[in-house]
Amino acid sequence: MRIAYLDCFSGISGDMFLGALLDAGVPADVLEKAVSALGVGAELRVSKVDRCGITATKVDVLVAGEVDAPRELVGVASGHSPERPHEHEHAHSRVHAQPHGEPWPPTRTGVSPPHEQEHTHAHEDVIHQHGRHLSEIKRIISGAAIGESAKRKAILIFEALGAAEAKIHNVDVERVHFHEVGAVDAMVDIVCGAVGAEALGVDEIVCSPLNVGGGTVECAHGVFPVPAPATVELLRGAPVFSSGVHAELVTPTGAAIVKTLAARFAAFPPMKVERAGYGAGSRNFTGHANVLRLTIGETVEIPATGDGASPVSTMEVGQDTVTVLEANLDDLNPQVFGYVMDRLLAEGALDVFGMPVQMKKNRPGTLLTVLAKPEDAEKLANIVFAETSTLGVRRRDERRQVLERQWETVRTPWGDVRMKIASMQGAVTHYAPEYEDCRRIAEEKHVPLKSVMQEATRAYLSRKI
């Protein structure tokens, strides 16, 4: 399988992602055509820069020939004049425009400067100036002459940003004004990111744990720690850490890109490297290469360890041992078989199932299979002997790979339902409502079972946006 691996040892931002895409081989004209298709009067400036001894690609968005200047990220519709600043009760940190290459001046409180990797910040003082609503941004993207899949992904990235901001401000997403996120540079970063990711031609994008940085940023109502609230909201379920660099290394746009495009999080996977690219952030730290690395290649299996074990794939999360009990039944009343399955499960069997088999003398029969914890095997074998007509039970131990599992309870209009959540290396891979909970509610409330299951799934997903 061909994969792309995002190594976020210095975080990620929109412009870093574009630089890494270009450096890894995505043709520049692919992104230039995407910018032109937006029709927002922007263009890209691509250059090579040095980041702590590493040559990387830097991407800037130009509007009317100038680098787009920072503006506020998000506001809430309130009817205030767009010309008059007004602090909203949910206002967040202020980031002032700073020319590229100039040092950030110290503040009175000694607050660490924000990361300037791109021209966005998680939370600005809410200024009710003209801004774009999510519906307008989606309209612009939908009307662009780019691929339908890239459109969907770009819209999903913006929806993730909008949902995070709406939750932080405790308002409906359509009341959120996208000042900075809706600005031209961020629209270009997100749309070009979606188009460029498809141009890589990979089956999957995998992401490393993210270095979020550290320190604090000054806010309208005090000081917020890094990462900022919207970034934390976007990175729920993702593995993160801080290397101690006092700067905001993961921006909201970068977090939304990872949330949407990355299939899973993992350490560097076994792969045959084809090529790699480096995207540069705006700041040049001392002793810390401020770049995002994108590596492209084919996955490979890890060689056997020499103990007879089979090769282990990078999809593995954990292993355990189960005992398999089997018995062939050809003279058991089918009504009894159902009872036996229920009793085995009640006594602790991990799974019980039957398969039709053709036995000796051409008699149709059923193969009973029980999966058990090794410590429960003896007890369950005795139940099989007591409740069925078999004269023998086969028994063997097998290794199995398992995903991490946990339960979450969600609320539906008819009652609470447990959701079974499976995760791999910190990323959710499967989720499903508990059948028995849904069945009980359907019977008690006289609603279709499928409606209960659909509502439980919707409630779970709404938490994750």
CATH number at 411 reads 3.10.20.300
**What would the DSSP string read from start to end of 343-356?**
HHHHTT-SEEEEEE
Contacts of 238 (CB under 8 A, 6+ apart): 207, 209, 210, 258, 259, 265, 426, 427
Cα 454 off chain centre by? 22
Task: Give this prediction's pTM.
Answer: 0.58
Residues 132 and 20 in one domain: yes
Residues 334 and 411 in one domain: no
Residues 326 and 445 in one domain: no
In a domain, 226, yes or no: yes
Residues 173 and 226 in one domain: yes
**What would the DSSP string read from start to end of 138-191?**
HHHHHTSSS-HHHHHHHHHHHHHHHHHHHHHHTS-GGGEEESSTTSHHHHHHHH
In a domain, 305, yes or no: no
Residues 152 and 245 in one domain: yes
CA atoms of 249 and 130, how far apart (whole Å): 28
pLDDT tens, the chain, 465 aa long: 899 999 999 999 999 999 999 999 999 999 999 999 999 888 999 999 999 999 999 999 888 766 654 434 455 444 333 332 233 323 333 223 333 333 333 332 333 343 444 444 433 333 334 467 788 888 999 999 999 999 999 999 999 988 888 888 788 877 776 654 446 788 899 999 999 999 999 989 999 999 999 998 765 556 789 898 889 999 988 999 998 888 999 999 999 999 999 988 988 888 899 999 999 999 999 889 999 999 999 987 655 444 443 333 333 345 678 999 999 999 898 889 999 999 999 898 999 999 999 998 888 999 999 999 998 999 999 999 999 999 999 999 998 887 877 888 899 999 999 999 888 767 788 899 999 999 999 999 999 999 999 999 999 888 765
Structural domain including 361 reads 318-402
Residues 397 and 293 in one domain: no
In a domain, 313, yes or no: no
For 73, phi then psi, to 5°, come to: -75, -50
Residues 233 and 121 in one domain: yes
Residues 390 and 435 in one domain: no
In a domain, 34, yes or no: yes
Number of domains present in the structure of the chain: 3
In a domain, 192, yes or no: yes
* Residue where a domain terminates, one of 299, 326, 352: 299
Residues 223 and 344 in one domain: no
